[in-house]
């Protein structure tokens, strides 16, 4: 039985959906997930933040700009989520 403080295991698939996470969890989540992706050889990740008001997207983009492990990022095209998702390119070695 979980007490609510146990870590949540997220499958490392190259796609991270932020809908189920609280805003204060985003920074650590992105860093940890990207580290696991790198370890698995995944260097292109789709981060799904949703369309909404754009606040979460802007928060994610600001965080990505500050992360040394991120080589670049861009809005997803319409077939992969449009402005509700962001493609992130990771540096291979960090």
Q: What integer is the mean pLDDT of 1-13?
A: 67
Q: Which fold has domain 15-90?
A: Ribosomal Protein S8; Chain: A, domain 1 (3.30.1370)
- pLDDT mean across residues, the chain: 89
The H or E element containing residue 46 is strand 44-48
Radius of gyration, CA atoms only, the chain: 13
pTM of the model as a whole = 0.85
Q: Encode pLDDT of 23-56 as tens digits.
A: 888 999 999 999 999 999 999 999 999 988 888 8
């Amino acid at each position: 039985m979980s007490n609510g403080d146990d870590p949540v295991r997220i499958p490392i698939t190259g796609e991270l959906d932020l809908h189920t996470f609280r805003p204060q969890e985003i920074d650590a989540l992105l860093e940890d997930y990207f580290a696991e992706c790198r370890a698995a050889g995944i260097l292109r990740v789709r981060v799904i933040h949703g369309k909404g008001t754009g606040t979460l997207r802007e928060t994610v983009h600001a965080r990505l700009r500050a992360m040394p492990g991120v080589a670049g990022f861009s809005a997803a095209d319409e077939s992969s989520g449009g402005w509700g998702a962001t493609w992130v390119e990771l540096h291979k070695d960090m």
